[in-house]
């Protein structure tokens, strides 16, 4: 699927040391988006506690940076040894940047990462009235089978191939180069 992103947008994986910017992004979500992201109303304190673990364990978080600021994120969290080959995914895009292709691009990267790690089943908790997320998942119905009956959507990424592994390496190579340039320019400004 072709990525169409807002100007100045870059997608790359977040590093463990970037927990604070991830937290700030999630705390900036408007009330409705926060409700949809967590499947209900949650406090700032809950978000702080939850996100402390996000980058520390084996979760993979892709971020969408627009003009250097994190405006969207997609979390891929393996369910652990009890349920090998299964993971859950969750997306968040700040309101002013919604409906500009950010969610689609983040989901595409998450699916590629899931596929390359042998994830066979990906759970996405999605409220029944979250049309935007359901519409987004349907865009990937060529590679996903999605059931959004009430709350849980399940997707089954395809098996990894040398090409899918190469695609992830190439997109990360680009993300890393951009991140280094961004860091360099921030150091020069500071």
Cα separation, 113 vs 186, in Å, equals 29
Candidates 25, 62, 70, 104: give the one binding ligand COA (CB under 6 A).
104
Q: Is 139 in the site for ligand COA (CB under 6 A)?
A: yes
117 binds ligand COA (CB under 6 A): no
Residue 108: closest CA among 79, 131, 142: 142
Quote the Cα angle for 149-154-155, to 5°: 135
Give me the phi and psi of 15, to 5 degrees please.
Answer: -95, 160
Using CB under 6 A as the binding rule, whether residue 135 contacts ligand COA is answered as yes
* Residue of 157, 156, 91 whose CA lies nearest to 127: 91
| 185 contributes a contact to ligand COA by CB under 6 A | no
User: With binding defined as CB under 6 A, does residue 102 bind ligand COA?
Assistant: yes
Strand (E) or helix (H) holding 123? strand 121-125
Smallest separation, CB 189 to ligand COA (Å): 29
Query: Binding of ligand COA at residue 133 (CB under 6 A)?
Result: yes
132 is an interface residue for ligand COA by CB under 6 A:
yes
User: For binding to ligand COA (CB under 6 A), which residues are involved?
Assistant: 33, 36-37, 90-93, 98-104, 124, 126, 130-133, 135-136, 139
């Amino acid at each position: 699927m072709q990525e169409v992103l807002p100007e100045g947008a870059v997608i790359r994986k977040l590093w463990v040391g970037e927990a604070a910017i991830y937290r700030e992004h999630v705390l900036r979500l408007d009330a409705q988006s926060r409700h949809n992201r967590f499947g209900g109303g949650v406090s700032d304190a809950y978000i702080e506690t939850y996100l402390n673990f996000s980058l520390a364990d084996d979760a993979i978080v892709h971020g969408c940076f627009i003009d250097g600021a994190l405006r969207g994120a997609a979390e891929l969290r393996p369910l652990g040894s009890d349920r090998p080959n299964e993971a859950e995914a969750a997306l968040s895009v700040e309101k002013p940047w919604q409906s500009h292709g950010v969610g689609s691009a983040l989901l595409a990267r998450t699916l590629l990462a899931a596929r390359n790690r042998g994830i066979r089943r990906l759970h996405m908790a999605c409220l029944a009235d979250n049309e935007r997320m359901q519409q987004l998942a349907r865009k990937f119905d060529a590679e996903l089978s999605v059931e959004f009956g009430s709350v849980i959507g399940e997707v089954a990424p395809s098996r990894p191939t040398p090409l899918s592994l190469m695609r992830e390496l190439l997109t990360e190579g680009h993300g890393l180069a951009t991140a280094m340039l961004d860091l360099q320019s921030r150091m020069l400004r500071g």
